């Protein structure tokens, strides 16, 4: 009897281990440094950014369950409230959580946070969703602002919730498997969307994620608030490479 219990316990541990590997795929597939490098490269070298305000950006990555893997800031270490929008750190996490929580692997349904906008309006089938899943402020604002955006950001390994229907949240897939999502914030909604799209594509050049997930739509045409600074067409059509 004791042997059977031990076998059952070991099997349970193994099962949990495999489940954890699937749940935390984004955290294990992409390192903090790789996300930081991708965001910094896009900020410093990528032309999609020129139509916005030119602000620094926060980028947050979460796993399938909304658990925060990494938080980076193109302005550098800390909240940097004199160089980047301090509120955008939590907003970036909300956007990532939104995309991760609504995108599916089977059936294949990738949802960017911008795509949720139209469905969340009066008459839409997700009307009011932006008021659900409130941010857990007791977790979102823990720790010293001096380590925000670093490998030791206090958001790491926490689920803070939150729904945000502005552009900037994109799901992450790898070979057809959903592994999580990223959220970008710090500029206009249109720029956030384009920035996140290019960060994801940058990660794809390393083979860490799939470059496109079917959500690369023009967010103005998708019912999002008008984005006059962003050319019409999908990122692919306007040269987001």
Q: What is the CATH number of domain 27-205?
A: 3.30.450.150
Packing angle, helices 189-205 and 32-45, rounded to 10: 120
Q: What is the pLDDT of residues 100-149, one digit of tens each?
A: 999 999 998 888 888 888 788 788 888 878 888 888 999 999 999 999 99
Collapsing DSSP to helix, strand or coil, 59 comes out as strand
Cis peptide before 107 (omega within 30 of 0): yes
Burial class (CB in 10 A: 0-12, 13-18, 19+), 128: exposed
DSSP state at residue 226 = P
152 pLDDT tier (thresholds 50, 70, 90): very high
Burial class (CB in 10 A: 0-12, 13-18, 19+), 185: buried
Q: Is the pLDDT of residue 9 over 60?
A: no
Q: In DSSP terms, which residues pair with 185 in a beta bridge?
A: 58
Handedness of CA 136, 138, 144, 145 (dihedral sign): positive
**How many angstroms separate the CA atoms of 119 and 149, rounded?**
31
> Residue 172's pLDDT is what?
94
> Residue 54's pLDDT is what?
85
Calculate mean pLDDT across residues 35-40.
Answer: 95
The reported pTM is 0.81
> Residue 173's pLDDT is what?
93
3-state DSSP helix/strand/coil percent for the chain, to nearest 5?
Answer: 40, 10, 50
Give me 129's structure tokens.
Answer: 């969703």
Q: How many CB atoms neighbour CB 16 within 10 A?
A: 11
Q: HEC string of 168-197?
A: CEEEEEECCEEEEEEEEECCCHHHHHHHHH
Question: Between 8 and 179, whose confidence is greater?
Answer: 179
* Strands 169-174 and 177-185, sheet pairing: antiparallel
Q: What is the pLDDT of residues 217-240, one digit of tens each?
A: 444 444 444 444 444 444 443 333
Q: Is the pLDDT of residue 25 over 70?
A: no
**How many angstroms separate the CA atoms of 201 and 80, rounded?**
26
Give me 54's structure tokens.
Answer: 């030119």
> Residue 213's pLDDT is what?
64
**How many angstroms separate the CA atoms of 50 and 60, rounded?**
21
Buried b (16+ CB within 10 A) or exposed e, 132-154: ebebeeebbeeeeeebbbbeebb
| Domain boundaries defined on the chain | 27-205
């Amino acid at each position: 009897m004791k042997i059977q219990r031990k076998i059952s316990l070991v099997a349970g541990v193994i099962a949990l281990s495999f489940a954890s590997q699937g749940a935390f795929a984004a955290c294990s597939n992409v390192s903090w440094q790789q996300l930081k490098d991708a965001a910094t490269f896009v900020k410093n070298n990528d032309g999609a950014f020129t139509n916005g305000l030119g602000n620094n950006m926060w980028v947050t990555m979460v796993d399938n369950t909304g658990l925060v893997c990494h938080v980076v800031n193109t302005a550098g270490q800390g909240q940097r409230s004199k160089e980047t929008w301090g509120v955008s750190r939590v907003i970036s996490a909300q956007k990532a959580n939104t995309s991760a929580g609504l995108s599916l692997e089977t059936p294949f349904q990738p949802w960017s946070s911008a795509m949720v906008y139209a469905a969340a309006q009066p008459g839409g089938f997700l009307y009011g969703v932006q008021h659900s899943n409130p941010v857990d402020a007791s977790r979102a604002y823990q720790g010293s602002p001096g380590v925000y955006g670093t490998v030791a950001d206090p958001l790491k390994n926490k689920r803070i919730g939150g729904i945000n229907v502005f552009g900037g949240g994109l799901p992450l897939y790898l070979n057809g498997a959903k592994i999580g999502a990223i959220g970008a914030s710090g500029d206009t909604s249109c720029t956030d969307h384009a920035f996140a799209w290019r960060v994801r594509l940058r990660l794809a050049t390393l083979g860490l994620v799939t470059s496109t997930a079917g959500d690369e739509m023009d967010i103005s045409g998708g019912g999002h608030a008008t984005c006059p600074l962003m050319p019409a067409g999908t990122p692919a059509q306007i040269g987001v490479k």
